[in-house]
Structure 1
Amino acid sequence: MIRLLVIFCSLGLLVHANEVCYEEIGCFSNGSPFYDPPLRPISWLPESREEVGTKFLLNTRRNPSVPDMLLTSDITTITSSHFDPTRDTIVVCHGYTESGDVAWMQDMMTALLNNGDHNVIRIDWHPGAMAIYGKATANTRIVGAEVALMVNNIKTYYSITGATFHIVGHSLGSHVAGYAGERITDLGRITGLDPAGPYFEGTEPIVRLDPTDASFVDVLHTDANIILTSGAGIMQTVGHVDIYMNGGKQQPACDQSIIEHIGEEDGLVTGSVYYVVCNHLIAYDYFTESVTDGFPWLAYECDGGWDKFKNGECFDTTKVARAGFYGDELKPDEGRENVVYYIRTNDETPLGGYQYKVDVYFSDPRKAQKHKGDLYVTLIGINSITESIKLNDEAMEYEPDNKYSFIAFSSVYPGSLVGVQLRWEYDPDWYKWWDWDLFVNPEIYVNQIDVTDGQDGRMSTFCDSTSDAIEASKDIVNFVAGTSC
Structure 2
Amino acid sequence: MLQNTAIMLNHTSNLFLQTMFFLSHTRNDTIVDEIHNLESPWNGKDVYNKTQVQTLDNRCYGEYGCYSLKYPWTNDARTLSQFPEDPSKMKPTYCLYTRHNPTQCQPLEHQNPETIYDSFLIPSHRTYIISHGFLEDGDRPWIKELTRQLLIKEDGNVIVNNWGVGSSPPYTQAVANIRLVGYMTAVLLNTLRREVGVRTEYVHLIGHSLGAHLSGYVGNTLYTVFGLKLGRITGLDPADPYFSGTEPIVRLDPTDATFVDIVHTDAAPFVKGGLGMGEPIGHLDFYPNGGENQPGCDQGVFKFIHVEKGSIVKGLRKYLGCDHIRSYEYLTESINSRCPFIAVECDSWTNFTAGNCFNCLRNGGLSCAKFGFNAVKHRNSQLLALGKSVYNTVYDSKPFKYFLITGDKYPFCRYIYRVTVNISNSTLSQEHRGEVGKFSIEIHGTKGRTEFMSLFKEQHYEPGSEHRQVVGGAGVGHITNITLRWEHEMSMNILTWRFEPALIYVSS
Q: Given the two structures, how large is their TM-score scaled by the length of structure 1?
A: 0.87
Match of 2:440 in 1: 376
Task: State whether residues 354 and 470 of structure 2, in contact with CA within 8 Å, keep that contact through their aligned partners in structure 1.
Answer: yes
Task: State whether residues 489 and 496 of structure 2, in contact with CA within 8 Å, keep that contact through their aligned partners in structure 1.
Answer: no
Residue 484 (structure 2) pairs with residue 422 (structure 1): yes
> 1:5 offset after TM fit, Å?
4.2
Match of 1:360 in 2: 421
For residues 96-115 of structure 1, the C-alpha deviation after alignment (integer angstroms, 9 at most, x for no partner) is 00000001001100111111
Equivalent position SS for 1:327:
helix
Identity within the alignment, %: 35
Match of 2:85 in 1: 47
Distance (Å, rounded) in 2 between the aligned partners of 1:86 and 1:379: 47
Residue 304 (structure 2) pairs with residue 256 (structure 1): no
Match of 1:245 in 2: 288
Distance (Å, rounded) in 1 between the aligned partners of 2:28 and 2:221: 35
The letter of the residue matching 1:242 is D
The letter of the residue matching 1:444 is I
Task: State whether residues 434 and 461 of structure 2, in contact with CA within 8 Å, keep that contact through their aligned partners in structure 1.
Answer: yes
Distance (Å, rounded) in 2 between the aligned partners of 1:335 and 1:253: 38
Let me know the Cα RMSD of the aligned residues.
2.0
Distance (Å, rounded) in 1 between the aligned partners of 2:94 and 2:332: 20
Counterpart among 270, 279, 288 of residue 332 in structure 2: 288
The letter of the residue matching 2:33 is L
> 1:413 offset after TM fit, Å?
1.6
For residues 175-234 of structure 1, the C-alpha deviation after alignment (integer angstroms, 9 at most, x for no partner) is 000000102231000000000000000100010000000000000000011211111001
Residue 307 (structure 2) pairs with residue 272 (structure 1): no
Match of 2:468 in 1: 405
Equivalent position SS for 1:153:
helix
User: What stretches of structure 1 of length at least 5 have no aligned partner?
Assistant: 449-485
Match of 2:371 in 1: 323
The letter of the residue matching 1:24 is E
Distance (Å, rounded) in 2 between the aligned partners of 1:189 and 1:157: 22
Equivalent position SS for 1:254:
coil
> 1:48 offset after TM fit, Å?
0.9
Residue 339 (structure 2) pairs with residue 301 (structure 1): no
Equivalent position SS for 1:58:
strand
Distance (Å, rounded) in 2 between the aligned partners of 1:372 and 1:67: 61
- Per mean C-alpha deviation after superposition, the further-off stretch among 347-356 and 12-21 is 12-21
Match of 1:195 in 2: 238
Task: State whether residues 14 and 42 of structure 1, in contact with CA within 8 Å, keep that contact through their aligned partners in structure 2.
Answer: no
Summarize the alignment of residues 444-455 of structure 1 with structure 2, pairs less than 5 Å apart. 444-448=504-508
The letter of the residue matching 2:244 is E
Summarize the alignment of residues 80-479 of structure 1 with structure 2, pairs less than 5 Å apart. 80-184=118-222, 185-266=228-309, 267-303=311-347, 305-317=348-360, 318=365, 319-331=367-379, 332-333=382-383, 334-368=395-429, 369-392=433-456, 394-410=457-473, 412-426=474-488, 432-436=493-497, 439=499, 441-448=501-508
Summarize the alignment of residues 27-42 of structure 1 with structure 2, pairs less than 5 Å apart. 27-37=66-76, 39-42=77-80
194 and 440 in structure 1: CA distance in 2 versus 1, 3 angstrom threshold: farther
For residues 10-68 of structure 1, the C-alpha deviation after alignment (integer angstroms, 9 at most, x for no partner) is 9795343522211222101122111112x212111111112222110110001011010
Distance (Å, rounded) in 2 between the aligned partners of 1:359 and 1:86: 51
Equivalent position SS for 2:428:
coil
Counterpart among 71, 76, 84 of residue 109 in structure 2: 71
Equivalent position SS for 2:165:
helix
Task: State whether residues 443 and 482 of structure 2, in contact with CA within 8 Å, keep that contact through their aligned partners in structure 1.
Answer: yes
For residues 330-353 of structure 1, the C-alpha deviation after alignment (integer angstroms, 9 at most, x for no partner) is 324353231111011001211112
Equivalent position SS for 1:24:
helix
- Tell me which protein shows more helix as a share of its residues: 2
- Tell me which protein shows more strand as a share of its residues: 1
Task: State whether residues 14 and 41 of structure 1, in contact with CA within 8 Å, keep that contact through their aligned partners in structure 2.
Answer: no
- Per mean C-alpha deviation after superposition, the further-off stretch among 249-258 and 2-11 is 2-11
Equivalent position SS for 1:329:
helix
> 1:425 offset after TM fit, Å?
2.1
Distance (Å, rounded) in 2 between the aligned partners of 1:328 and 1:100: 26
Match of 2:46 in 1: none
Distance (Å, rounded) in 1 between the aligned partners of 2:270 and 2:372: 25
Task: State whether residues 299 and 321 of structure 1, in contact with CA within 8 Å, keep that contact through their aligned partners in structure 2.
Answer: yes
Distance (Å, rounded) in 2 between the aligned partners of 1:209 and 1:396: 43
Equivalent position SS for 2:376:
helix
Distance (Å, rounded) in 2 between the aligned partners of 1:28 and 1:190: 23
Distance (Å, rounded) in 2 between the aligned partners of 1:375 and 1:436: 18
384 and 141 in structure 1: CA distance in 2 versus 1, 3 angstrom threshold: same
- Per mean C-alpha deviation after superposition, the further-off stretch among 264-273 and 122-131 is 264-273
> 1:306 offset after TM fit, Å?
0.5
> 1:8 offset after TM fit, Å?
6.9
Task: State whether residues 52 and 129 of structure 1, in contact with CA within 8 Å, keep that contact through their aligned partners in structure 2.
Answer: no
> 1:244 offset after TM fit, Å?
0.9
Distance (Å, rounded) in 1 between the aligned partners of 2:139 and 2:119: 19
Distance (Å, rounded) in 1 between the aligned partners of 2:500 and 2:165: 64
- Per mean C-alpha deviation after superposition, the further-off stretch among 309-318 and 365-374 is 365-374
Equivalent position SS for 1:359:
strand
Kindly tell me the number of residue pairs found equivalent between the two proteins: 442
> 1:385 offset after TM fit, Å?
1.7
Distance (Å, rounded) in 2 between the aligned partners of 1:196 and 1:397: 41
Task: State whether residues 26 and 172 of structure 2, in contact with CA within 8 Å, keep that contact through their aligned partners in structure 1.
Answer: no
Equivalent position SS for 1:352:
coil
349 and 309 in structure 1: CA distance in 2 versus 1, 3 angstrom threshold: same
Counterpart among 4, 14, 28 of residue 33 in structure 2: 14
> 1:426 offset after TM fit, Å?
2.6
> 1:136 offset after TM fit, Å?
0.4
Match of 1:455 in 2: none
- Per mean C-alpha deviation after superposition, the further-off stretch among 331-340 and 20-29 is 331-340
> 1:87 offset after TM fit, Å?
0.9
